[in-house]
Amino acid sequence: MISLIKIIILFLCLSSCSIINTGYFGIFYENFKSDDLGSLEDLKAAIPYSFIKVSQGKRKATFVLSHIDKNDIEYWIGASQEQLVIVNGAIIKTLGLESDFQVYKKDWNKISKRHLKDNYSSSISFKNPDLRVAELTNSFTDGTATKGCAKSVLNLKEIRSIGFKKEDTYCLDTSGIVISTKQHVFPLSKDPLEIEFHYQY
């Protein structure tokens, strides 16, 4: 309950503008270090912004939507100003994590509309451990619809130069919006990043 009150106080301090002043997150970092985020209902009641619940193994965190650029790329900010950059459900860049990566593609404005539909290749780099540039391929197929998912999409992604090959899953609603996903983004991590999207329109 105390942690929930702290979350409410934090978001009362935030501006109602579409771009959030991320300086507030540093002040409240200690309040978000716990893996116990409380129930989804508590989070929705406490957070008046679009947010995502992110988990990897036992670790959990909440990120708030900072802004969406002209290419429909979303920028999500964490408690200590960690950042996830997401296009149509797929993480294409991380900042401030123990390990970070970035996917490079010149025409994200085209990819953002066709992601999860058309196969494509791009370049990717990692930090800690470092990998300068490697080719990343994405191959999409329809998955089996499950409870809560109007449609499921599978992405077989591969970085041949390091022998990395994993399958990501995306759960879409009836409007074609990604509402949850499991993504293998770090080659040395056995656990995928799991994300639940909660948009406030």
Q: What is the pLDDT of residues 6-24, one digit of tens each?
A: 443 334 333 333 334 333 3
Domain count, the chain: 1
62, 64, 106, 68: which is closest to 88 by C-alpha? 68
CATH number, domain with residue 171? 2.40.360.10
Q: Give the domain extent around 96.
A: 2-198
Residue whose token pair is 């200690």: 30
Give whole-number Cα distances, 87 to 106, 110, 156, 175, in Å: 14, 11, 17, 16
The pTM assigned to this predicted structure is: 0.77
> What is the pLDDT of the chain when averaged over all its residues?
79
Q: What is the pLDDT of residues 47-67, one digit of tens each?
A: 678 999 999 988 899 999 999
